[in-house]
Chain A
Amino acid sequence: MSQAPAAADPMVPLPFRVTNSKPETSDTVTLELAPINGEHRVSFAAGQFNMLYAFGVGESAISISGDPSLQDRYVHTLRAIGTVTRALHALREGDVLGLRGPFGNRWPLDRAEGRDVVIVAGGIGLAPLRTAIYRIASDRNRFGQVSVLYGCRTPDDVLYADEFSVWHHNHRINVQTTVDRSRSGWRGRVGVVTTLIPTVSLDPDNVVVMLCGPEVMIHFTVIELHRRRVRDDDIFIAMERNMKCALGFCGRCQLGPTFVCKDGSIFPYSRLRRLLTLKEL
């Protein structure tokens, strides 16, 4: 999980233009961003994030959700949940924002080669995992069985639904979706994402699990993975914390002895196990 290089001065945002804005759900949008001055070379690893700056409002850490093989744009899926993300959500094609990054480490795709991969996502947690799914799809034969288990609140909150059949039919990826609540008419599963884990054939000696979602979901998903005897070293989690500098200076994202921005944001569960059960961390 080596670090990829960030911009020359990582504290200075560069101007990027919104080249496409695609509503995903009522409060979630996917933005495509292209550098304005052309000097910035778009390059990132699956799992990294950028700091997006809505001018006059503020900055927020947003995971990259696009295909790492596309070198002309950053793609970010974000949910309007606070002041900054609401401002970013409101941006339209042609608008300009500031961008610093990319920061953080990457999903352990090298470690997953030759093994089965189980990807567990909750809500907008599918966004950072989509970069790993694209990487796996582009080199599918290097991996064993691949499953994407995705849980969200309601059928209206499902992200990237139009891509599921492509992942399944073109790339042999088993995609299972479940929602927490539904009226009649939804033809999929209802129940929390942990209920999908027993549907997957899972060899604990030959699997890597990648996980992203709310921490309470992570907690119960890991319990279910432990029931299936998956080892903590084979479970990788993308942590979300309130990041400010993204460089390990300010300490806003400190989690015990680690800085989520600098040391992560992806960690093996063996490293987080004790930290996630401590109060007030």
Chain B
Amino acid sequence: MEIDSLEGLLAGHSFLKGLDPEQIALIAGCARNVRFEQDEYLFREGDPADTFFVVREGLVALELYPPGKDPVVLQTAGADEIIGWSWMVAPHVWRYSGLAIEPTRALAIDGACLRRKADDNPLLGYLLLTRVAEVMAHRLEATRLQLLDLYGRD
């Protein structure tokens, strides 16, 4: 029963829209519902990146802690977005911390489980890779825009 509801939630999320029911079922087998209170960490920099999050609602700040300086919020991610690609990229370690700045509900996907399924099912692996690559490209573009200091004085 839980698997069915997970499948419905996954199929309705932008990140996975268009995947066929079999592929969704494979992903659902690695997923669980999670909830984080405001100011609760989803993960911390340096932790093993064994999970990625399909956010259903709420808002998560991705923070970096430069030595000797205050934490910097690099970016936020909210409903209908995903958080994390370190599960896919060796050495599978979080490069920043994820802090819920609003109560957040998400589906946590076991990265090791999904990697195994992707190895066994190259089409699924390819589809996931292209979608993660699209997210990475969007975030890279957004980061470049942030570097441009759009609203600065120049």
Contacts and interface: CB of A to CB of B under 8 A. Distances in A.
Main secondary structure of the interface of B (DSSP, over half): mixed
Name the residue among B76, B78, B102, B142 with the largest chain A CB count within 10 angstroms. Answer: B76
Interface residues of B, number: 27
The size bracket of the interface on A is 20 to 34
B43 to A, nearest CB: 16
B61 interface: yes
Interface string A134-155: 0000000000000000011100
Given A81-B153, A217-B150, A192 B142 contact: yes
A183 B101 CA distance: 13
B40 interface: no
Nearest to A191: B75
Contacts of B79: 199
Contacts of A152: 151
Describe A's contact surface by its main secondary structure.
Answer: mixed
A216 B70 contact: no
B145 A192 contact: yes
B142 A191 contact: yes
Interface in A162-213: 178, 180-184, 186-195, 198-199, 213
A124 B101 CA distance: 27
Interface of A: 81, 122-124, 151-153, 157, 178, 180-184, 186-195, 198-199, 213-214, 216-217, 220
15 contacts: A122-B150, A152-B151, A178-B76, A180-B150, A181-B72, A184-B73, A189-B78, A191-B75, A192-B150, A194-B142, A195-B142, A214-B150, A214-B151, A217-B151, A220-B145
Closest 6 CB pairs of A and B: A123-B151, A192-B145, A184-B71, A182-B73, A153-B151, A190-B73
Given A178-B76, A184-B99, 15 more contacts: A81-B153, A122-B151, A123-B150, A153-B149, A180-B146, A180-B150, A182-B73, A183-B70, A183-B71, A183-B72, A190-B73, A192-B142, A192-B145, A214-B150, A217-B150
